[in-house]
Structure 1
Amino acid sequence: MGKTRLEAFSDGVIAIIITIMVLELKVPHGSELADLQPLVPVFLSYVLSFIYIGIYWNNHHHLLHTIDHVSGGLLWANLYLLFWLSMIPFATGWMGENHFSSVPLALYGSVLLMCAFAWLLLQRSMVKAHGQKSTVAVAVGRDLKGKISPVLYLVGIVSAFLNEYVSEAVYVLVALMWLVPDRRFERASHASQVR
């Protein structure tokens, strides 16, 4: 099976996830600037989650350019990633509404952790379907950021119960680490086209 249907479906789900998140931003019932104050945590959690969704969408796009066909296992791995990405709006809303308190903050980190595991599973499924010498295998390589991220999410989850600011900083740090698109996929795709 070709990859275009998988890419189109994934893009649609990610667009819906972003739409759900933005619908959680409620308009204040006043016309003064001070009426926006209670919405600051909700808005900040939305911004962070929007960045995370954008990172996954961007890297998913680049990752799919390293393959030429899709297997059944790869379809399920992709659905598993989309499932965890679809949990981000709930975790985002709960965290923002409760002003980054411990349990919602830990749940947010847990969802991010599961997204990271799902991403690694998707990469492994692609390598398995295309072989160890394939473009995707070369692109994934050692994937240092992909291995560091789950560890940092665990630190963020534990920190949520010790110091919420540390937990928040860890989640922002991981997002910043991934903010620049992962060029490994572009380089591998370009190298395979040159050959």
Structure 2
Amino acid sequence: MISNALKIRLDTFVDAIIAIIITIMALELPAASWSDHEHILSFFLAVAVYAVSFCFVANIWYQQATLFSTVDVIPRRVVLLEFLLTFLLSLVPPLTRLMSGDVENLSVMLYGALYLLITLVFRYITETVVHQQTDDKERMHQIYTSVYGQHNMENSFLLAALIILAFFLPWVAYVLYIIIPIRSFLTIDDDQRELTAIGDMEAAGQKTYLQMNHKQQERFRHLVGHYVRDTRRAQNDTAKKAAWNTFTQAVQTQVGIDPEQLSKWFQPNSRNAYHQDINQYRNSRRPKKTHDTTD
């Protein structure tokens, strides 16, 4: 493990690299005269690819910032993975320029391969950090898999299929590469919010959750995620209490868990109706690190 001070410096390093990457992508937008209509079309195509790359890189930054904010220390191997991640991200600008300049099968396939590789590396980083947050690593692994597993698998297969599609129909793959990152960007917080909420439940609640079938788990996670979102938006205690009542009634109706049981699972959260952000609650439960640790 590395110390909190070194983790902060790693965060700063990654932030700086990502800021430079986004700046380079913006500087590489074509600036030819619009007297020729072909230049206008080329410019807007380049902007579309830039938007895709921006959403993709910004999505990685936000997820990492959210992930690292929940822990004081991280495994040392994550540092090496972060260096690999930033190296791969640094390849986004040239491949963005390549694909926007010439939409052909090779350029789109290379962009897709980089997209897939970055996604897989970041997914491994996320899983590593999440698993080390609890002593019961097996249960946390099951929770992580229930939240991200099917989504990750579907996303990986989709990206791999797009690489194959780009060989035959590069323009179709090109358009899909524009849609997918923007969609992910707009739903950036959903999975992380659900994972945080389920991970903060009492152990008995987590065990009951893991015994549910897939559809029940999915419905329960969504209800919990909506509850956390509503309490964050609530302006006063009355609104927070109303969010809790709405949540418990929905869970009882749709999943069959009574409010009294939920109150036990989410204590002390239910008594306070999430008066504070759920990440602040997690930090308050975690013992403070007062010295550096090594592997």
Q: Which position in structure 1 is the counterpart of 2:43?
A: 39
Q: Which runs of 5 or more structure 1 residues have no equivalent in the other structure?
A: none
What amino acid maps onto 2:125 in structure 1? L
Kept after mapping to 1: 8 A contact 2:24/2:93: yes
Q: 1:183 aligns with which of 181, 185, 190?
A: 190
Q: Which position in structure 2 is the counterpart of 1:7?
A: 11
Deviation of the 1:173 alpha carbon = 4.0
SS in 2 for 1:160: helix
Deviation of the 1:8 alpha carbon = 0.9
Deviation of the 1:193 alpha carbon = 4.4
Q: Which position in structure 1 is the counterpart of 2:161?
A: 155
Higher relative contact order (CA 8 A, sep 6+): 1
For 1:106 and 1:132, the matched residues in 2 are separated by 41
Deviation of the 1:13 alpha carbon = 0.6
The alignment status of 1:70 with 2:77, answered yes or no, reads no
Q: Report the aligned-residue RMSD.
A: 2.5
Kept after mapping to 2: 8 A contact 1:95/1:108: yes
If you compute each CA radius of gyration, which structure gives the higher value, 1 or 2? 2
Kept after mapping to 2: 8 A contact 1:113/1:154: yes
For 1:141 and 1:151, the matched residues in 2 are separated by 16
What amino acid maps onto 1:18 in structure 2? I
What amino acid maps onto 1:80 in structure 2? L
Kept after mapping to 2: 8 A contact 1:48/1:172: yes
% identity of equivalent residues: 22
Deviation of the 1:36 alpha carbon = 2.4
Kept after mapping to 2: 8 A contact 1:25/1:42: yes
Kept after mapping to 1: 8 A contact 2:116/2:159: yes
For 2:41 and 2:171, the matched residues in 1 are separated by 19
For 2:142 and 2:68, the matched residues in 1 are separated by 13
Query: TM-score if structure 1 supplies the norm length?
Result: 0.85
Kept after mapping to 2: 8 A contact 1:95/1:104: yes
- CA deviation vs aligned residue, 1:33-84 (integer Å, no higher than 9, x gap): 7342332322221111111111111111111122210232010111111111
For 1:116 and 1:87, the matched residues in 2 are separated by 14
What amino acid maps onto 2:156 in structure 1? P
Q: 1:17 aligns with which of 21, 45, 51?
A: 21
What amino acid maps onto 2:18 in structure 1? I
What are the equivalent positions in structure 2 for 1:107-118 lying under 5 Å apart?
A: 107-118=110-121
Q: Which position in structure 1 is the counterpart of 2:89?
A: 85
Q: 2:105 aligns with which of 93, 98, 102?
A: 102
Query: TM-score if structure 2 supplies the norm length?
Result: 0.58
C-alpha spacing 1:182/1:150, structure 2 compared with 1 (3 Å): same
C-alpha spacing 1:113/1:96, structure 2 compared with 1 (3 Å): same
Q: Which runs of 5 or more structure 2 residues have no equivalent in the other structure?
A: 197-277, 286-295
Q: 2:282 aligns with which of 186, 192, 195?
A: 192
Q: Which position in structure 2 is the counterpart of 1:166?
A: 172
For 1:72 and 1:45, the matched residues in 2 are separated by 35
Deviation of the 1:124 alpha carbon = 2.9
